[in-house]
């Protein structure tokens, strides 16, 4: 009777523990995204925080407070300013776009029809819109409607982003202050779950996340700044809003092209041929070079994951987890590759190794 009773007790404990974990997950799920952002930020910026802590004589609480307050000032204030100016800039952009369509489209360039597969259709549609004011007006109305809806969603996203930053900064304060104890307990838990190899997996995750933060974040800032420089020199209106969009779109392989290419076309359509050529050349050379150099260098540094798998991990992570999947996707693939590589390297035990154990030895 003792054995069945122990099994019943074990089942009851497992069920109770599972229910407790489910309730904890339900309670903390609204803050999971902010907690992940806080953990990623604290991990990637820990050297700077450690330097500040040493300068303050080891006062972790004061150092954590100063560091998180600085982060809030650097991130929240620009977002708030951009959010307030976004409506005005976007309004001017919409007006410029409407005026562009109302003035009529030029004839389709000759090279467009020569494009394989899609060229003839695009050239025909372009010609229809250029010579059909009613169709062009309808297209303009639909574009304005979509743009206004996008602006409303963007404003809401900025507000949600500010809230996420505030919550992540609040959590980050405690992660900075108690980071060493959190890491020690996490390592002990991982050793019990994953065994002695967990330390290596943690290093792989750390190097992959750090590379993604530096590569994607650095590339985004560089492309946004370079796009802003080009737009200001070319005297394109609403340069601040367009530069912000280029920064946000830089996660895509051709994201900033969606900003500076239409701006160059707008300049060319308005007769500013020289400024249009400059902006196009600046985008092709300066902006694209920053993306092709910074992102592969930092993302591929410190891990053996092929760059193509890193890109697949980024896009797959975004599809599964949202924007934070940029960091989760490559980290998961890197750990999976390390586990599979170790398993393949160990290999199966051959018959010559199993036979002495089976026979009891000589």
DSSP 173-229: HHHHHTHHHHHHHHHHHHHHHH-TTHHHHHHHHHHHHHHHIIIIIHHHHHHHHHHHH
What is the model's pLDDT at position 29? 78
CA distance 256 to 112: 22
Nearest Cα neighbor of 335 from 215, 185, 207 is 207
Threshold 0.95, pTM exceeds? no
CA distance 99 to 92: 10
CA distance 314 to 291: 15
Distance of CA 123 to the CA centre of its chain: 36
CA distance 154 to 108: 33
**Annotated domain spans of the chain:** 30-113+122-177, 182-340
Distance of CA 231 to the CA centre of its chain: 24
The token duo for 315 is 């896009």
H-helix segments, the chain: 2-28, 32-44, 46-55, 60-102, 110-113, 119-130, 133-177, 179-194, 198-212, 218-233, 239-249, 257-269, 273-282, 288-300, 307-321, 325-346, 351-359
The token duo for 167 is 């919550």
The torsion region of residue 350 among left (phi > 0), alpha (psi -120 to 50) and beta comes to: beta
Distance of CA 101 to the CA centre of its chain: 34
Tally Cβ neighbours within 10 Å of residue 117.
7
Each residue's pLDDT, cut to its tens digit, for the chain (362 residues) gives 556 777 777 788 888 888 888 888 888 777 887 888 888 888 878 888 888 888 888 888 888 888 888 877 777 666 666 666 665 656 666 666 666 556 556 666 666 666 666 667 777 776 666 666 666 666 666 766 676 666 666 666 666 777 777 888 888 888 888 877 877 777 777 777 666 666 677 777 777 777 777 777 788 888 888 888 999 898 888 787 788 778 877 777 677 888 888 888 888 877 888 888 999 899 888 888 877 777 777 776 656 677 777 778 878 888 887 777 878 888 888 888 877 877 777 655 444 444 454 444 44
Tally Cβ neighbours within 10 Å of residue 360.
6
Half-sphere exposure of 236 (CA within 13 A, CB side): 33
Q: How many residues does the chain have?
A: 362
The token duo for 358 is 């089976």
What is the model's pLDDT at position 359? 44
């Amino acid at each position: 009777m003792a054995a069945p009773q122990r099994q019943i007790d074990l089942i009851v404990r497992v069920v109770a523990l599972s229910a407790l974990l489910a309730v904890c997950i339900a309670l903390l799920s609204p803050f999971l995204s902010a907690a992940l952002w806080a953990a990623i930020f604290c991990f990637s910026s820990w050297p700077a925080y450690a330097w500040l802590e040493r300068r303050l004589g080891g006062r972790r609480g004061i150092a954590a407070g100063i560091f998180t307050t600085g982060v809030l000032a650097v991130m929240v204030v620009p977002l708030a300013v951009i959010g307030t100016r976004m409506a005005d800039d976007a309004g001017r952009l919409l007006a410029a776009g409407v005026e562009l369509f109302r003035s009529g489209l030029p004839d389709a360039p000759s090279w467009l029809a020569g494009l394989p597969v899609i060229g003839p259709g695009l050239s025909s549609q372009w010609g229809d819109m250029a010579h059909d004011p009613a169709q062009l007006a309808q297209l303009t109305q639909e574009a304005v409607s979509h743009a206004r809806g996008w602006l409303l969603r963007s404003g809401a996203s900025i507000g949600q982003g500010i809230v996420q930053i505030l919550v992540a900064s609040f959590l980050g304060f405690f992660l900075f202050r108690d980071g060493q104890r959190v890491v020690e307990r996490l390592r002990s838990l991982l050793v019990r779950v994953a065994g002695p190899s967990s330390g290596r997996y943690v290093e792989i995750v750390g190097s992959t996340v750090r590379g993604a933060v530096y590569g994607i974040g650095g590339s985004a800032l560089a492309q946004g700044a370079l796009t802003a420089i080009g737009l200001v020199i070319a005297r394109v209106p609403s340069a601040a809003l367009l530069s912000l969009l280029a920064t946000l779109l830089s996660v895509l392989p051709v994201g900033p092209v969606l900003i500076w290419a239409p701006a160059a076309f707008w300049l060319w359509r308005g007769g500013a041929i020289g400024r249009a050529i400059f902006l196009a050349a600046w985008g092709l050379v300066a902006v694209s070079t920053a993306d092709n150099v910074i992102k592969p260098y930092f993302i591929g540094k410190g891990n053996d994951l092929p760059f193509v798998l890193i890109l697949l991990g980024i896009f797959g992570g975004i599809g599964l987890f949202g924007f934070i999947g940029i960091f989760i996707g490559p980290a998961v693939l890197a750990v999976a590759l390390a586990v599979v590589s170790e398993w393949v390297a160990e290999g199966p035990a051959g018959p010559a190794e199993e036979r002495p154990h089976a026979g009891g030895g000589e």
